[in-house]
Chain A
Amino acid sequence: MRQPQALASAPRISVLMPAHNAGTYVAAAVRSALEGGEPNVEVIVVDDGSTDGTAAAALAINDPRVIVISIAASGGPARPRNIALARARSPYIATLDADDVLKPGRLAASADLLDRFPVAGFAFGDFEKMDADGNVFETSAAYAYPAFLGLRFEPAGEDWKLIPQGELARGLLHGNFIGTSGVVMRRELVVALGGFDESLRNSDDVDLWYRLAHRGAALYSPRLAYSYRVLANSVARGPPVRTALTRIRVLRRERTRWRDRTARRQLDRRIAENLASIGYQQRLNRERWKAIHSYLRAFMASPESRWLSYLIATLLLAPEGGG
């Protein structure tokens, strides 16, 4: 029996793209994913209540590999990421923010490495920072994380390195060195972990990296995986007190996963830093007693003299002073 051309096979990589009022940049982001070196890719754009024609801009690419889902504004990227994750059919998923741009060939390279190293749950690379117009002002982000650079890597071929599970989990205690865009993960693993936590309005990605780090190793390449567009209105730059509170929730949750005293102490230190940053914001807002309370909580979380000195400074100095 004569049969017409078969249906397209399931994609190898699904790119999950939450998009909120990203009409200016979304087409460039989608195109970069389509040119990621993997022809068998699908880009799932979830338009999160945009009012600037983001969905139309993504659809205007006229490519069957691009699908667009419109939802009411959810207030954070976790919900659209989960909707895209539920939609994905491929063995690998990649996260990409709608204002970032992937570097050519990096998606396929990451998936190839994950094929070769089943012990690794995900692969990521370095990233550069650019402004709204695409001008690069920082050519690497890795140098900002000395704890990451001090990790014990194992060679994984070409410029790739394998970060063993224990090293990865311990490294993340000191800071998040994993840029969100361009991370390629095993879909089944992410689904098994429950996806992104929708109760978090930010740091849902960091929360996932923590959970992934307790489940397996990771692959890292010092080559640039993507260009991170630094915008004044990005989700990561939401209200400082709210974002710090969410980070504290994520850190506290991570603390429950550790029995090791050193690890718990390091997480306490970071919780204290976030409490102190809340105190600083409250000082700026002339909420003196709230600021003192936050510094006190920081000291109780991690008894360091600097929190005490900020507390005393807040008590004695004019409210608009620095913390």
Chain B
Amino acid sequence: MGDKLRVSVVIAVDETGTQLEAAVRSALAVDVRELEVLVVDNSPDDRSTAALRDVVDERVVRVRLRPGRGPLRPRNVGIARARAPYVALLDPDSLLKPNRLSDALRALDNHTEAGFAFSDFAVVEERGNTVQPSGIGTFVDFGTVASEPLGDGWRLIRQPDLARSLLHGNPVGMSGVVLRRRLFTEIGPFDESAACWADLDLWFRLGHYCAALYSSEVSHTRRDKPQSDAVRPRAATEECIAVLRREKSRWSERAARRQLDRLIAEHLASVANEEGRHRRRLRSTAMYAYAFATCPDRRWLSGMVHSLLS
């Protein structure tokens, strides 16, 4: 009857999850016996019922939500239902490596200053062949982030360095991240209004709150998938700009604010580019002008001129 759970694995199922059963089985097969797997489904076709028909295990807890409230609602419900001191996030398209979760838990037990642990991941294609052995390897700037070696392949990224590293890209991803559950009470859960940028928003907030642990050893494989049709590029870009602006409000340091302005301008320019492709010339020009006003870069000026003349 005692509650000795070590970790709650939260799997949010939306319309994109294609290998849910394999993902759940990979979580059940890790070398941490004291775990629960929370599968929260708000897919329109209730895909978890069919996918998990043969998964009979008391460690698997299923919750079904009304469809259509976005991919973050199930993730937040799963976190709210989690009981273990640690929460591991897993996408239905990812498979955990059997020994990496216990490694992350041990590292977090030993380094209480770190709020979460993340690792590298491999990207595989539909048939399981590896197309990218190191997902984090694509973030060139990540290699330059200051960190301290801790042994067992883990490195400690201290809080200010973590916050600063996130200004140059999001290497954390979503699957395979192990967090202390109390963090969600202390800094809040995923922001459901931030849609597909909610992970970046959460890491930004954590970057101002705690240190992180990183291991270059692959903790999970992620199946490469085409972007969902439901993701509207323009809306997603606007959500990202909102997340970046919010992060900017947390910084007083000029260099950091300038870097965030640069990122905001890049996203504004991508909106301008999209407007241009739809032959909305004036809107495109206005967006390039907005990007230039945010971060005076010659590229946006030339984009503006190009849209005016084309």
Contacts and interface: CB of A to CB of B under 8 A. Distances in A.
A62 interface: yes
Contact of B188 (A3, A46, A86): A3
Contacts of A66: 63-64
Interface string A66-95: 111111100000000011011101000000
B180 to A, nearest CB: 14
A316 interface: no
Contact of A59 (B62, B246, B249): B62
Interface string B49-66: 100100111101111111
A86 B185 contact: no
B3 interface: yes
Interface in A126-141: none
A83 B46 CA distance: 24
A217 interface: no
A179 interface: no
B189 A68 contact: no
A274 B88 CA distance: 52
A4 B190 contact: yes
A232 interface: no
Given A70-B55, A71-B56, A3 B187 contact: yes
Nearest to B186: A3
A2 B63 CA distance: 29
Given A64-B65, A71-B56, A86-B1, A8 B80 contact: yes
Nearest to B67: A62
A89 B63 CA distance: 16
B64 A4 contact: no
Nearest to A56: B49
Interface residues of A, number: 34
A108 interface: no
Contacts of A72: 56
A191 interface: yes
A1 interface: yes
A6 interface: yes
A18 to B, nearest CB: 12
Contact of A7 (B46, B63, B185): B185
B61 A87 contact: yes
Contacts of A87: 61, 83
Interface string B1-34: 1010000000000000000000000000000000
A60 interface: yes
A82 B1 contact: yes
Nearest to A190: B1
A199 interface: no
Given A1-B205, A4-B193, A6-B188, A61 B64 contact: yes
Contacts of B58: 46, 69, 71, 83
A195 interface: yes
Contacts of B193: 4
17 contacts: A1-B187, A3-B188, A4-B190, A7-B76, A7-B79, A55-B49, A59-B62, A64-B40, A64-B77, A67-B63, A67-B81, A68-B63, A69-B58, A70-B52, A87-B83, A191-B1, A195-B1
